[in-house]
Each structure stands twice: as structure tokens, then as C-alpha cells.
Structure 1
Amino acid sequence: MGRDPDHCAVLFGAQPIIGSSEAEALEKQEEHNSLVPLEGGMAILSGHLNFDLSKLSPGDEMMSRTEPELQRSRRVYQKDNGESMTVKEVARRHGESVGLPQFVGTPASVADQLEAFFDEVGGDGFMLTPIYNPGAIEEFVDLVVPELQRRGRFRTAYTGTTQRDHFRQTE
């Protein structure tokens, strides 16, 4: 768009799920994810892909699909071990977090995961998608932000009044 790439900020979506213990955080994640109906995930993902996934069998492998609308997002159809995900698995994941990574654990563990993510992929920050409201953002601000600040990974003050100021972007 004509702007120097060094003057653009890259923000990633993140869905933190915080507990006082790893077990509590995993329990929160399981409860949240279990509430999402498969049909909801299918509808959301169908809209995002501009392709009606209900035309496919839930057991179909997504990576083997040849439709152009499905080829654009091919990388997200893989499990961590490289195997293809099924339509059902992709729709469920998309419904649970709109395809964003879920960072699950104690405040220190979530901070560890965020650090590892940014050390690997870079970026200038993140946008939070809470799993419940009110409360999830406040938990992140009260519990994870201080941990990131102690590690020198999150600012303690702002130098300006605009978003551009906050990301130190120029015209």
C-alpha cells in the first residue's frame, strides 16, 4: 500500500486461558471448547472461507481438497505432527478460537508461551480474544502483564496518546 514495511506493526491474535494451576487452566479450556457446537464452527469457517463446508463429509481430509477456496488456507489444516485434519477437526478448532492460538496455563506459563511464540515468529504485539467477558481480559492484565513486565517483554508506560505512538510508527 506504499508504506515502508518497517513502519507497519504486526499484531497477532491470542486467546489466553489462565488458571491458578495448569490443571485449572486446562479445565477452563476444556469447558470453553466443549461449549462450541460443531455446526457453529462449520458456519463461522464457511463464512471465512466463502465455501459451504456442509457440502463435505465431516470425515473428509482438508488437505486433500482441491477447491480453490480451501487451498488458500491449506497450512492450517495440519495437525502438529503434519497429518491432515478432517473437516470436523478444522471446524471445531475454528469454532473454539476462530483459528487463533490458545495460550493455556498459569500466568508464568502463558508468559512463557507468548515469549516463545514471539521469539519464533516475531511481531509487534497481540490482540486478545477473551473466552468469557467480563473477567478474561482483567485476568490477563492483572496476572500475565506483570509477569511479562518483570521479564522486560511488556512496556510499563506509554510514550504517546495514539496507537501509532504506542507502536512507534511514523507517517
Structure 2
Amino acid sequence: MVPGPVWASPDALARTGAFPRPGSTAAGRTAYSTSKLATIHLVHAYARRPPAGIDAVAHNPAFVPGTGLARNADPVSRLVVRRILPATTLTPFATSRGAAGRYLADVVLGTTKAPTGSYVDRNRVARSSGESYDPQREAELWDAAERLVAAYAV
């Protein structure tokens, strides 16, 4: 349902129209997966610069039907997401909204032990994709984030 990320320079990714056919569902889904990869890169970058008492952890609830992720998809996809895919929460392939909330709360409250820089898949620390461990991308993304938010710093 969601294509893999398509990495580009952080400056390119920060602009609208970063992916082909920007108004398409495919572009939106690619932007979604790419933003998830960027988030993991930033978690790794933050973990190397932690302020005292602050941890940075990436959390993946897995596929959670009923969150509106496909609200702008074509009618057939919306029908499938609304009427058929909720049943997948009875399998290991998806998570109910309630379970996803509990898993996230457990990470935030420390019930699920996750050291800074961790990737938590549902309710356990796991290794994220190989692509997410790229120190050069992490540094480029960190530098771009600092530059892009500098104008808004108080």
C-alpha cells in the first residue's frame, strides 16, 4: 500500500512537489514513507546530541486501520481501507487504534524500555531498516533542519 522511501537532499525534500506527480496518491504515499525514514534519521542524530534527561525514540505502531491515512485515496482504495482492512487487526499485520495508543504510552512512560536512539516496533525495540543507518544522511538532515528552523527560533 505504501511505496518505499525515495531519498533526496533534505533541501529538495523540504519543498512541495518533491516527488513526481505531486498531486497524486502515489506521491503522497512516497512522501509519507520518506518522512518516516527522515524521522528515524533525526532520531539517530538527536541521540548523538541528547540534552540531559531527554531521550529520542522512533515508534512504529505498524499499519493502523481507521486513522484516515487513505482519506484522499481513490474510492476503491478507501472502501478497502474502511471495510476490509480493519479485519487485519486480528492478524500480526496490523494494529488496532487502541493497541497502538497503548504501545506508544508504554514507550513514553518507560514501560517499554527503549534507550535513546531506539526504534520501537509496536511494543519491542527492534532494528530499523538498513537504509535508516546512514550517518551522512543523518548529518545532512540535522544541518538542514537547523537551518530551516533558524528563522523561527525565538
Q: TM-score range by the shorter chain?
A: under 0.3
Looking at CA atoms only, which structure, 1 or 2, has the larger radius of gyration?
Answer: 1
Which structure has more RCO (C-alpha within 8 Å, separation ≥ 6)? Answer: 1
